[in-house]
Amino acid sequence: EAVVLEIDTAAPLHPNNPHYAVLRAKGAELDLINSGFDGIRIRKGEKYDLSFFSRIQGNKQGALQIQLRDRSGRPLAQAAAKVAPGEWTKQHLTLQAVEDADSACLSIQTVAPGVYALDMISLFPQKTFKNRPNGLRADLAQAIADLHPRFMRFPGGCLAHGDGVHNIYNWKETIGTLESRKPQRNLWGYHQTKGLGYYEFFQFCEDIQAEPVPVIAAGVCCQNSRGGGQQGVAMCDMDAFIRDILDLVEYANGDASSKWGRMRAEAGHPEPFHLKYIGIGNEDQITDAFEERFTMIYKALKAKHPEITVIGTAGPFNEGTDYEEGWEIVDRLQVPMVDEHYYQTPGWFLNNQHFYDSYDRQGAKVYLGEYAAHLPGRPNNLEVALAEAAYMTSLERNGDVVSMASYAPLLAKEGHTQWNPDLIYFNNREVKPTVNYYVQQLFGRNAGDEYLPGTVKLSSPSEDIAKRVPVSAVKDRKTGDLILKLVNILPTATRTQVRLNGIEVGNARAVKTVLSGALEGTDLKPRTSDCEVGREFTCELPAYSLTVIRIKIKSVY
């Protein structure tokens, strides 16, 4: 053959990334082509930053032509690069598209004979979220920002475990130069390059004004890991494991003169990230191995960083042995917050709107870290979304216990997901928010900061009806707004008389937003209009709906 492609490990760019491509071009032309993830979407006039490391054997200079091509092979953007012999050299090029394409590919072509080595080939649009280098896809990141989240948990669920005790996710392997970050397989079978690492997570949280909530394994891997289930980090290695967690606080909050604070500063962020929370563990089986290691981690964090709120875990369900024993550990150690997870039917959420009413008001706060309503077939429809909305009114009512809550999972690429339902689906062309997303967005944009107690009186005394028309009232002290959230999970419209006792209304016109439709509806969006309000007013709640009314008020007395 005239040319050969090899994957070599003899002289890698960095030991954390031992594999690189070698092109043996005996003639002039050899193409190395990457078709992207379902193709590469490019847009006319947009600029794309390409970077890669290269070198060539011998003492002669090599040459490359780089192109973005459409399906037929036509070049839509191109640039040229020289390749020097000797050490690895990083190349930076800009490609500008002359046409649109939804399924372009990237071609790196040799235009002179030689043995070329290539590694860390990266193509990014210049227009990332907030124009960050190595940044996030702008429309996806904006969809998350539009939820108005108060916090963001990362790296997410079981990712914190890795896949086995020797593969536990290590935040230190996700920072620094991209070529130094260590890729890994995770529990779900995905390959992670770690191009999205802890620095980028912290930066994104800052960009959307959300509190960062990193989650670290509790010294054990997941009970569902390959090769033996839950295993604990060897006790002789626990001091180092705990040191890594303490170093994370220094990386996030330390002065730029400290060891890890300096690394943050060198990455481009001299000011601290103001980390306040750390989760330890995720849906763990509560075993002796877990308890021993969690206790060591918690005591070390509490002693060194009492300003950090540690979030424990109570297993993967809202009942059972792990839940009970997880809470026993939290209570005994006086852990300030505990992470609860549960996925249930819409009926469960409707019937358990008093779930947190009986929780100890003086005990640990709850972070409801993962929840969603599931029907057979796992659809994202209005039925499950309204069940979640009904339950969320009870979370607001119990805001003195439930400090934080987050729907899960967050993102899913069409055709490549192992789990449904998810909050936001997407492909290379568009982002597809679900009806559940709009429920979360309505609550996020209208969260308020003070719960106002109220009563609901029904024309029918039926308990079945009562749990299908839950209501929440909160005040937003920043804007001076009173926010009413009214859910109607009945097949008919409900005429509602609202009486605002002890509240002086400041404006007779209010903003009303309604999400409604058929229960099986999936492509539904909220509609906003004005409505007339006063100390007493009438409001009609459509069948199967969530209604949010923002009222300007003068005072509460």
Assign residue 204 a region: left if phi > 0, alpha if psi is -120 to 50, beta otherwise?
alpha
Amino acid at 84: A
Instruction: Provide the 8-state DSSP code for 164.
Output: S
Q: Which of 200, 250, 283, 396 is catalytic?
A: 283
CA atoms of 367 and 281, how far apart (whole Å)? 13
Kindly provide the b/e burial profile for residues 29-51, where b requires at least 16 CB atoms within 10 angstroms of the residue's own CB.
Answer: ebbbeeeeeebbbbeeeeebbbb
> Measured between alpha carbons, how far apart are the two ends of the chain, in Å?
87
At 417 the three-state DSSP class reads: coil
The sheet carrying 309-313 orders its strands as: 151-154, 211-216, 277-280, 309-313, 337-344, 365-373, 402-405
Are 23 and 3 in contact, with CB atoms under 8 Å apart? yes
204 membership: H or E segment, kind and range? helix 198-207
CA atoms of 161 and 167, how far apart (whole Å)? 8
Pairing of strands 101-110, 114-125: unpaired
CA atoms of 38 and 105, how far apart (whole Å)? 10
Kindly provide the b/e burial profile for residues 146-174, where b requires at least 16 CB atoms within 10 angstroms of the residue's own CB.
Answer: ebbbbbbbbbbbbbbbbbbbebbbbbbbb
Are 220 and 289 in contact, with CB atoms under 8 Å apart? yes
- What's the token pair of residue 273? 């990230």
Q: Tokens 């060897």 sit at which residue?
A: 234
- What's the token pair of residue 101? 């394409």
Give yes or no: 283 in active site.
yes
CA atoms of 536 and 443, how far apart (whole Å)? 24
Furthest C-alpha separation in the chain: 90
Catalytic residue list: 283
